[in-house]
Amino acid sequence: MLTALRPLFCRGGSRIPDAALLEMYGEAEAEIESASYQRYRTVLFETVQAMGRRAGVSITPQEARQFASSLTLWEPFNDTVAALQALSQKFRLGIISNVDDDLFAATQKKLATRFDVIVTAEQVQSYKPSLKNFQEAMRRSGLSKDQILHAGQSVYHDIVPSSFLGIANVWVNRPSTRPGAGAAKFASAQPTHEVHSLKELAILLTGAGGSASAG
Domain limits of the chain?
2-73, 80-212
For residue 164, give the nearest of 139, 185, 126, 133 by alpha carbon.
133
What class, spelled out in words, does domain 80-212 have in CATH? alpha beta
Q: What is the pLDDT averaged over residues 133-140?
A: 98
* SS3 assignment, position 113: coil
Cβ-count burial of 163 within 10 angstroms (0-12 exposed, 13-18 middle, 19+ buried)?
Answer: middle
Q: What is the pLDDT averaged over residues 1-17?
A: 90
- Which residues, 6 or more positions from 179, have their beta carbon under 8 angstroms from its beta carbon? none
Residue 151, phi then psi, degrees to nearest 5: -115, 135
CATH topology of domain 2-73: DNA polymerase; domain 1 (1.10.150)
For residue 210, the model assigns a pLDDT of 35
Confidence label for 207 from pLDDT (cuts 50, 70 and 90): confident
Q: What is the pLDDT of residues 72-129, one digit of tens each?
A: 999 999 999 999 999 999 999 999 999 999 999 999 999 999 999 999 999 999 999 9
Say how far apart CA 50 and CA 23 lie, in whole Å.
12
Would you tell me the crossing angle of helices 80-88 and 101-111 to the nearest 10 degrees?
Answer: 80
